[in-house]
Structure formats: structure tokens, C-alpha cells
Amino acid sequence: MNMEKNVSQEIIVSDVYPQAVMQTRGNQYLFHVLCTDGSATFGVSGQTYELHHLDIAIILPEVQINRLSFSSDFKGVFLMISRSIAHSNNPSLQWGDRGFLYSFSNPVFHFSQEQADIFTQWTSIFEQRLADTSHLFYNDVLGASVRTFLYDMWNIYAPLLEAHITSSEGGNIFERFLELLRLHCHQDREVAFYADKLFITPKYLSEVCRKKSGRSAIDWITDYTTQK
């Protein structure tokens, strides 16, 4: 494998595991790894996951990955997008939420060859954009690339994202909570307000949020307030 191809504070594209970054700043990045050959294993929240040909792992900044190992013949593509650039260039709160929720519970997804090609094309685009530091609108172009990349990924995951949010206990409540947030986040920032709208207690709303996303209701309210 080659050394890391492009490194910046915002986006990292590599064909080797960016160990130094993951050890020191891993919780600041949305981490992707696409397996193109061989295999890999890793642990999240006590559960072990495997990667094989055309499997992709998407690890959220909030998720701690451990016991990561690669087979001797492993080949793959690593893409790290900082929390800050993803946050500031999220083109849709609704789809961003769905992507977060699905990846939180399902960090491994199998690509078709066509889908894998779309992902690797994007890593090439990011490399080109990162290298073009003389571009007059460097930061804007990089941000626009992140937005379009997210649209392409959500398009691939759309059927699973739509189904997942209401697939388990509390799903309908959580979806309704997010809809209320989109409508009221700048006027009302108290958990009790949203719980009252849903005819449940604040405690139960927080329990549903943690079960569905690993985050509290107040965390979601804070995120919506700062992003909208």
C-alpha cells in the first residue's frame, strides 16, 4: 500500500489506515473504509463487525471503534471527513438525521460494484480538490463537494434509511420528535415542550432518543439550533 495520499484538517483520503489521526483526533471525523480485497474486523459497543469485498464501514464521530485488524491481503480506501466540514455543509437536516441513525445501528453496508465505483470516484474528486490549493474558492469548492458527496451517499442508502427510523420500538415517536424540531427548534429549546407535544414525559422522550441514536433529546435540540 502507498502512504496517505492527501491530508488536511478537514478531509483525509488514503489507501492505508490513518492510524495517527484515528488515535489522536478520531472522534472529530466521519470515518469511511471501503474494503476492495481481503478482510477486516472491528468492534463497536461490544459487537464485532466484519468487512469483506465491497463492504463499507461508516463510523460516526460519536462512536468509538476498537479491536480493528486487517488481513495481510487487505486493500481498501479510507475517507475521513471532519465533523466541522460535514456539519457546516449538511444539505438536509432530515436526511442527515436518517443517515446518522442508520449508521449508528448499522455501521457496515454492502455496496454493489456500481455503488463502490461512485464512492471511489468521490475519493478521487476529494484528492483533486484538496490538491488545488491555488483555487480562488478553495474552501467553498471543498464544501460543495462534501454536500454533493452526501447527496450521492444518501441516494444509495435511501431505501434503508427510510425503513430504519420506524423499524423498532419508539421509532414513530422519534421521527415525530425530529419533525417537531424542524418546526420549533428556534422558538422552543426545552425537552418538556417536545415531550408535551408528543403526549409523553420528558424522561421517556430522552429514553427513546438514546435507544434510537445514542444521544439525548437535549443533544438533538442543541444540534438543530446550531445548524438551522
Q: In CATH, which of 3.30.70, 1.10.10, 1.10.3470, 1.10.287 is domain 171-227?
A: 1.10.10
Provide the 10 A C-beta neighbour count for residue 19. 11
Is the domain spanning 6-164 CATH 3.40.50? The answer is no
pTM reported for the whole predicted model: 0.77
Backbone angles phi, psi at 89, to 5 degrees: -120, 20
Across the chain, mean pLDDT equals 87
Task: Please check whether residue 40 is in contact with residue 69, taking contact to mean a CB–CB distance below 8 angstroms.
Answer: yes
Provide the 10 A C-beta neighbour count for residue 30. 22
pLDDT for 8 equals: 55
- The percent of residues above 90 in pLDDT, for the chain, comes to 53
Domain chopping of the chain, boundaries: 6-164, 171-227
Instruction: Please name the residues in contact with 63: beta carbons below 8 A apart, sequence gap of 6 or more.
Output: 44, 45, 104, 107, 214
